[in-house]
Amino acid sequence: MKHLVKRVAAIHDLSGFGRASLSVIVPILSTMKVQVCALPTAVLSTHTGGFEGYNFIDLTDTMEPTIEHWKELGINFDCIYSGFLGSPKQVHIVSKCIDTFKREDNLVVVDPVMGDNGELYDTMDDEMVTNMRMLIKKADIITPNFTEVMYLLGEEAGREPDAKNIKEYLVRLAQMGPNIVIITSVPDKDKRTSVVAYDKKFNRFWKVSCEYIPAHYPGTGDSFTSVVIGSLLQGDSLPMALDRGVQFISSCIKASYGFDYKEREGVLLELVLENLKMPILMSSYELLE
Ligand code: PXL
């Protein structure tokens, strides 16, 4: 049966303070008229980017009973979207969840949340990296940042990512399984930053670039992927969805950067959420040369 509104199973942590993971995914997708069914992986007092001494409650043992209950109820999803996982074992649980709920016509999106700025997050380790390489095989779409690309490809040690190799990275990641690979925070020329993507089925490479602002707000990856999912579920094309994601994150950063507060608190999402209801007037995507 067609759902009255599109429905996403969102497999992420809930970080109380700091505007990351479910704290941004739920409002963004709800604003885009998508129902979010949360399968929480962990509950934290704050996200792990820039806070010390956070409280971390691992929910690994609670996940399978939730999946079982959903299965018993006969619930199905238009999208299964995973992100920050609380333990390497959760990769196997997410994999089972995908096996349970995957259909011909729904979308599996894996955001392989592991690190940023060249480093793994506090709670991540080599086992998580190895397992994540397995999980992306089952995804239709993956959305790693530049750092996660290097870990997924096993090239993190001693090699700086080079934007010149971006097409090669996209193709190699697509060969690992997913049909669409979207890489975020790619340095671009003229002090810009880009999102690049490869659509294996159509053999097309896309790029959307925007002005680079020297600020780093945790949680923007979660916001970006949520907008892309909301846009695709509304029927937009891939480059249009990328465009929406980039424009929204740019508006988040612009709304935040002018204020003097700690970046670890995340972007001031509440001030710009309504922008998601506006049509895109000028799209700026291009084919990647
Ligand atoms: O935004 C990614 C993310 C999600 N969840 C937690 C995090 C981070 C990034 O730091 O710490 C708990």
Phi, psi of 288 (to 5 degrees): -80, 125
40 lines ligand 1 (CB under 6 A): no
283: pLDDT confidence band, cut at 50, 70 and 90? confident
Query: What is the helix (H) or strand (E) element at residue 240, kind and residue range?
Result: helix 238-257
256 lines ligand 1 (CB under 6 A): no
Name the packing angle between helices 22-31 and 220-233 (round to 10°): 30
Query: Would you say residue 7 has pLDDT above 70?
Result: yes
Question: How crowded is the C-beta side of 28, counted as CA atoms within 13 Å?
Answer: 31
Q: Cα of 84 to ligand 1 centre, how many Å?
A: 6
CATH number at residue 175: 3.40.1190.20
DSSP 215: -
Query: Would you say residue 276 has pLDDT above 70?
Result: yes
pTM, two decimals, is 0.97
Residue 60, domain member (yes or no): yes
144 lines ligand 1 (CB under 6 A): no
User: Please, what is the Cα angle at 278 between 275 and 280, to 5 degrees?
Assistant: 110
Query: What is the helix (H) or strand (E) element at residue 38, kind and residue range?
Result: strand 34-38
Q: What is the pLDDT of residue 208?
A: 97
Query: What is the helix (H) or strand (E) element at residue 87, kind and residue range?
Result: none
281: pLDDT confidence band, cut at 50, 70 and 90? confident
Strands 107-110, 141-142: parallel, antiparallel or unpaired by DSSP?
parallel
| Residue ID of nearest Cα to ligand 1 atom 10 | 49
Q: What is the pLDDT of residue 157?
A: 60
Looking at residues 255-277, what average pLDDT do you find? Answer: 97
266 lines ligand 1 (CB under 6 A): no
86 lines ligand 1 (CB under 6 A): no
Residue 68, domain member (yes or no): yes
Residue 279, domain member (yes or no): no
Residue 281, domain member (yes or no): no
Query: What is the helix (H) or strand (E) element at residue 188, kind and residue range?
Result: strand 180-188
Q: Cα of 203 to ligand 1 centre, how many Å?
A: 32
The tokens for 51 are: 């806070």
For a mutational test of ligand 1's pocket, the pick from 52, 58, 121, i.e. the residue with the most ligand atoms closer than 8 A to its C-beta, is: 121
Residue 284, domain member (yes or no): no
For a mutational test of ligand 1's pocket, the pick from 48, 58, 117, i.e. the residue with the most ligand atoms closer than 8 A to its C-beta, is: 48
Spatial CB neighbours of 141, under 8 Å, sequence gap ≥ 6: 107, 108, 109, 110, 178, 179, 180, 181, 182, 228
Q: pLDDT over 70 for what percent of the chain?
A: 98
Query: Would you say residue 158 has pLDDT above 60?
Result: no
Average pLDDT over all residues of the chain: 95
For a mutational test of ligand 1's pocket, the pick from 19, 47, 123, 145, i.e. the residue with the most ligand atoms closer than 8 A to its C-beta, is: 47
282: pLDDT confidence band, cut at 50, 70 and 90? confident
Measured from the CA of 21, which atom of ligand 1 is nearest? 4
Residue 96, domain member (yes or no): yes
Query: Would you say residue 42 has pLDDT above 90?
Result: yes
Residue 149, domain member (yes or no): yes
Q: What is the pLDDT of residue 156?
A: 73
Q: Could you give the number of structural domains in the chain?
A: 1
87: pLDDT confidence band, cut at 50, 70 and 90? very high
| Residue ID of nearest Cα to ligand 1 atom 12 | 47
248: pLDDT confidence band, cut at 50, 70 and 90? very high
Residues 128, 114 contacting (CB under 8 angstroms)? yes
Q: Is 165 helix (H, G, I), strand (E, B) or coil?
A: helix
Alpha helix (H) ranges present in 211-237? 220-233
Query: Would you say residue 108 has pLDDT above 60?
Result: yes
Residue 288, domain member (yes or no): no
| Residue ID of nearest Cα to ligand 1 atom 8 | 47
Q: Is 194 helix (H, G, I), strand (E, B) or coil?
A: strand
Range of the domain at 152: 6-274
Query: Would you say residue 162 has pLDDT above 80?
Result: no
49 lines ligand 1 (CB under 6 A): yes
